Amino acid sequence: MHMALARIRIFAEMIKFEHTVFALPFAYLGAFLAKHGVPSGRQILWITLAMVGARTAAMALNRLIDRHIDARNPRTAARAIPKGLLSEAEVLFYIAASWALLLVAAWQLNPLNLAIPLTVKLMPIAVIVLTVYSYTKRFTWMCHFVLGLSLGLAPVGSWVGITGKLEFPSILIGLTVLTWVAGFDVIYACQDYDFDRREGIYSIPAVFGIKTALVSSALLHVITFIFLVWIGIITGLGYFYWLGVIAAAGILIYEHSLVTPTDLSRLDAAFFSMNGILSVMLFIFTFADILFGRGISL
């Protein structure tokens, strides 16, 4: 039992389970806006489990597919698979279990009691995107956008899980997450600039240089801000939401102040701390707006 728990901890560390916080608040945001209030505890539970299943499967698959690249990269050589801490068979088991969890959660999110709910019908799209992402850096610098798309599917899925319909506001929230994630992933990729160029791996920094990469990241986050404004307008959100948008803009500006083409020493703070704070904070402000500004619909 102790050994099993130890291996689960190794797996959780390998996939950075704690970074689920990046996309989960946006999944909740999609659900709360779709409901025009607070979803039921059951809905929140299955949305949470769907997110955990999808992200765990995607990250584990990425680590498995990239195991040989990770072994050659000094920054990632200590990861569990290259070091032999986890076998490929073990990781495949975790991937299968995570896909199964996503399927069960998608089926449970069935507001219309359909024989096959829309969440299940759309699930193959999520599986394809999450799988393809791991290969994209081998042939295109657009890999950052595919990663953004994979996380952007979270609020779309939660919206469909609440309403049973695919609607424009959910797509807009998904695009917001896409540009936000792609922007900070470009920053993150700057630390592997030398390795990626040497190995022929595609990323915006490796193809266009770090200076251009940081400019493109900033532009993506300007688009993120525009999308956040658009969401507030079309959903009729009020005072608290707009405070959250202003705070999010401030965090993005601060994030970009932490890195320059000649100094990436604070990159971890820009990537991990700031983005985790942004997603949680924006959801809290949106929830406050629903709770106090527009009233709760149960």
DSSP per-residue string spanning 30-94? HHHHHHTSPPPHHHHHHHHHHHHHHHHHHHHHHHHHTHHHHHH-TTTTTSHHHHTSS-HHHHHHH
Which pLDDT score, from 0 to 100, does residue 17 have? 65
Which CA distances in Å does 71 have to 11, 63, 134? 17, 11, 16
Which pLDDT score, from 0 to 100, does residue 269 have? 64
For the stretch 189-207, pLDDT in tens is 999 999 999 999 999 999 9
Which pLDDT score, from 0 to 100, does residue 296 have? 47
Which pLDDT score, from 0 to 100, does residue 2 have? 62
Q: What is the 3-state secondary structure (H, E, C) of 255-296?
A: HHHCCECCECCCHHHHHHHHHHHHHHHHHHHHHHHHHHHCCC
Tokens of 156: 């779309």
Which pLDDT score, from 0 to 100, does residue 192 have? 94
Residue in 296, 219, 281, 277 with CA at minimum distance from that of residue 19 = 277
- What residues pair up with 260 in beta bridges, in sequence order? 263
* Count of residues in the chain: 298
Q: How would you label 2-39 residue by residue, b for 16+ Cβ within 10 Å and e otherwise? A: eeeeebeeebeebbebeebebbbbbbbbbbbbbbeebb
Domains of the chain, CATH where assigned:
14-293 (1.10.357.140)
End-to-end CA distance of the chain: 42
What does the alpha-carbon distance between residue 77 and residue 207 come to, in Å, rounded to a whole number?
A: 23
Which pLDDT score, from 0 to 100, does residue 71 have? 94
Burial of 137 (0-12, 13-18, 19+ CB in 10 A): buried
For the stretch 210-230, pLDDT in tens is 999 999 999 999 999 999 999
Evaluate if pTM is beyond 0.85.
Answer: yes
Instruction: With a cut of 70, list the residues of the chain below it in pLDDT.
Output: 1-4, 17-19, 269-271, 294-298
Which pLDDT score, from 0 to 100, does residue 3 have? 66
Tokens of 45: 């539970």
Which pLDDT score, from 0 to 100, does residue 276 have? 84
What does the alpha-carbon distance between residue 100 and residue 104 come to, in Å, rounded to a whole number?
A: 6
